[in-house]
Chain A
């Protein structure tokens, strides 16, 4: 279930200008809504209702349709992401090799549930679909860094997380 974020919207004028410029150029093209939401998420990092409203206007479609699209696709996020996004692959190959346990260990260590962000905004945790690195299973990623062949007992996790803690 996707939840609308209760955190206040902190978009800047610059971000708004970027999005509106893109919409002015591409919003009228057929099938633009998906690409517009992808662009908006790239700019803002997530899709708060304020941003969805801008997209709706820009592609000339009702807000409820834009909301419908935002909630349909797994990649669109209605809540902000952490500075470090942790994604644990739960594809079959990783799952068979114990990535479910790794996800549970990370939830425990960060004190958040799958899909949430820590209060300080540092880490967010999510389960991801197969990222195709099945040869390295089990795998998780922190932003662009990939950690493969992770021990399922979780003994390496503290060391890995420490690298990102300020």
Chain B
């Protein structure tokens, strides 16, 4: 028995900020203090509050230490674990109320969250199947196999109202019913873990923090549709997730939870990891299937749908990681578990990867219908450096920007589509007034241009031409009629592209054009970038009154564009200036302005 457990976050965010070394240091210090029989160090999945990583939580007290460094470990061990005095200076300040330390669940970050898909992330050791089992793990699979027929399983999922969390929001139960309907000698279950949206990392965090939930759900899906084999298609860029998932699969096999005669029934199911190789289009289901088959990941026309003809031509049910992570709880607790949460047509919760200009970057899970305001201002802790909220981008390169005027929109599938964005897999990037909306539209379009697989012309050529039009605008050569051309081209690409990538590629452009047309017009007519981002449209100038003639900027300028004598105001030669901003950084008098 251990009297204390130290949970150290081993998600990618915290690992990147050094949590592995912290674990080593804890083990060393605990041994040095002679309490290694009493205290256990556990590497967990993501706690969500990545901005404050590396995160260390000490149980049973539940003390939440943030931004822990290797050198702090000794103090935590000696003070907290040996003497019982928590190290106040390292405790997450929101949990400290004068002399008392409040529960993490009462902090602004966690209070309005409801963790279903992330329920075990940060709570268990993902490398230990016993810990998953201790939290009802594999009980849902046991219930499905021994107490329910496949049809009952499908009905339960259907009644729960669960919709695909990967983007489109297709009802999961319907997908399973279609897969069950089509008869074949072999069927497959697949999991889309090819999370390619820039700024989205919820699927990775689930696989890193709770891999068994996905394995259990896939086995349940296999039982429901009559498949004996599963594939997880996962990005090779996620090495930690791949490693933990493989270990989890091995453990599940060892425990007889994968393989033949699972739970003493006739049901058999096994699974395999297929590594992706970096192609955004593989998030599209037919492209993903092509890639699993070892081909170029190009999409295929539908029908036939994967439920009819999928991997190797066999009926295949394909769901996303977060969708699967919901399944065990639904089977175990019945459809009401999910359909009592959320809005009329969007049930349950959604995980968002909160990033950009926001204080609490990280992973949050909120009930469907939570407003963007709650997510940004309360959970996200607002905009850093006193900035103002300008827009939030959801759905990555397939989604759009939501302006500040719509910040009270309840977030669900249908509302987001209605305002020109989409749920996507759940990236939520916050922007403030220093973000140029034309530049952001261009950024996403550059991504789609590069990721277009090239198979169909509207997407391959259309997105490229669209990018050229945006380039024309940000370089100061835009004309007003270009805006109409852009709109026309966007609609053409939307209507005529073969797959979701092309059909959604214009969304970032259309939504920014709709809500931030003024900004486009400023670029075109006034030749100004209001946010001061587009280099070709701005100038650095020295305010003569403020310049003391210290020559610091002159020395810092890499291209010799600044001239002037000592103690006299300097000037910038606009023809030479490369707009690197080095002069601004060196000026101690605030004499250099950007306009």
Contacts and interface: CB of A to CB of B under 8 A. Distances in A.
A148 to B, nearest CB: 6
B427 A92 contact: yes
B278 A35 contact: no
B503 interface: no
Interface in A128-148: 128-137, 139, 146, 148
A37 B356 contact: no
B544 interface: no
B392 to A, nearest CB: 11
Of the candidates B50, B294, B357, the one having the most CB atoms from chain A within 10 angstroms of its own CB is B294
A65 B295 CA distance: 8
Interface in A32-77: 32-35, 37-38, 59, 65, 68-69, 72-76
Measured as residues with beta carbon below 8 angstroms from the partner, the interface class of chain A is 35 or more
A153 B51 CA distance: 21
A34 B294 contact: yes
Nearest to B205: A132
Contacts of B294: 30-35, 59, 69
B425 to A, nearest CB: 11
A124 to B, nearest CB: 16
A88 to B, nearest CB: 13
Given A32-B294, A72-B453, A92 B396 contact: yes
B595 interface: no
A97 B387 CA distance: 14
B211 interface: no
Contacts of A37: 277
A132 B278 contact: no
Interface stretch (B12-20, B68-76, B405-413, B414-422): B12-20
A90 interface: yes
A112 interface: no
A6 B278 CA distance: 24
Interface in A13-37: 30-35, 37
A68 B294 CA distance: 11
A31 B17 CA distance: 37
B429 A34 contact: no
Contacts of A153: 581-582, 585
Contacts of B199: 91-93, 130, 134
Measured as residues with beta carbon below 8 angstroms from the partner, the interface class of chain B is 35 or more
A73 B275 contact: no
Given A38-B236, A74-B278, A135 B293 contact: no
Given A30-B312, A31-B292, A72 B279 contact: yes
Contacts of B295: 33, 65, 69
A106 to B, nearest CB: 14
Interface string B335-369: 00000000000000000010111000110000000
A75 B355 contact: no
Contact of A96 (B200, B298, B435, B581): B435
B78 to A, nearest CB: 29
A160 B328 CA distance: 46
B361 A93 contact: yes
A13 B13 CA distance: 40
Nearest to B581: A153
A137 B356 CA distance: 8
A154 to B, nearest CB: 9
Given A31-B294, A153-B585, A92 B356 contact: yes
A74 B201 contact: no
Given A34-B277, A73-B277, A75-B278, A148 B296 contact: no
25 contacts: A30-B312, A32-B294, A34-B275, A38-B236, A38-B277, A65-B295, A69-B296, A74-B277, A74-B278, A75-B236, A75-B237, A91-B199, A92-B393, A93-B356, A95-B198, A96-B429, A97-B357, A128-B237, A129-B237, A130-B197, A130-B198, A132-B204, A133-B50, A134-B13, A148-B17
Closest A-B pairs by Cβ, 5 of them: A135-B50, A74-B278, A93-B355, A73-B277, A31-B294
